[in-house]
Amino acid sequence: MDFDKIKELMDNENQDDLELPISLENIKESNMPIAKIRKTMKGEIAIQLVAIVIFFTYPFLIEMYELPRAVYLIFMFITSLMTLGYLAKMIWFLRRTSNVKQQTKETILSFIHDIKLTMEVYKTGIIAGSLLLPVSVAAIFMGAVKFGPDRFTEWFLLQMPTSIFFLVLLGYLISCVLIYYITVIWADKLYGVHVRKLEEILAQMEE
């Protein structure tokens, strides 16, 4: 009998046994961030839908001047359409990734690719929404009767001195930038950390 050959075969089998659990452990670890991303996304969809209903209901619960109410509803309608667009993208993503039990390198890679595309749509929607949201907020706070005279109409029609106009424009741009960056940071905390974890697991599986 060739004892050296038998020993070599046994060593190879032992090596395979050592590698298999590592791969299985990576697969199990990958399931956790995927599940967290899906759970977070479902919660965000529900919150966004409730928020849209609240935003459209609010101006009918308070007394507002006519122009601010009309501007608010128009801008919120446009913002809501954009919001529903990326929510539809999120729902499509959840349906596409509903079978999270089949964890392979290919499915994890596909998941990472899809979530990144979905987040790009999300950020694009936020950029557009950040340009409209300050106007809606101004309509609520400057056009409500309980806050005094209708200052929104003057602001919206730019009936103000040039110096005040540039201050208003600067404040508008700053608010847009703040809304965008706050949302991007928030999205990274919700999804980005889990995506990076998946990329680390995928890198370990490929080694």
pLDDT tens track of the chain, all 207 residues?
Answer: 443 543 454 444 444 443 333 454 555 556 678 888 888 889 989 998 999 999 999 888 889 999 999 999 999 999 888 888 888 888 888 888 776 555 567 777 888 888 888 888 877 877 777 788 888 888 998 999 988 888 888 888 888 888 888 998 898 889 888 888 888 888 888 888 888 888 887 777 766
- DSSP class of 14: H
The answer to whether 64 touches 145, Cβ cutoff 8 Å, is yes
The answer to whether 126 touches 177, Cβ cutoff 8 Å, is no
Determine the pLDDT at residue 183: 81
Q: Where are the domains of the chain?
A: 3-206
Q: What is the pTM of this model?
A: 0.72
Task: Classify the C-alpha dihedral 33-38-42-45 as positive or negative.
Answer: positive
Separate counts of helices (H) and strands (E) for the chain: 6, 0
Left, alpha or beta for 148 (phi > 0: left; psi -120 to 50: alpha)?
A: left
Determine the pLDDT at residue 34: 82
Cβ-based burial of 53 (10 A; exposed 0-12, middle 13-18, buried ≥19): exposed
Determine the pLDDT at residue 26: 54
**158 φ, ψ (degrees, to nearest 5):** 60, 35
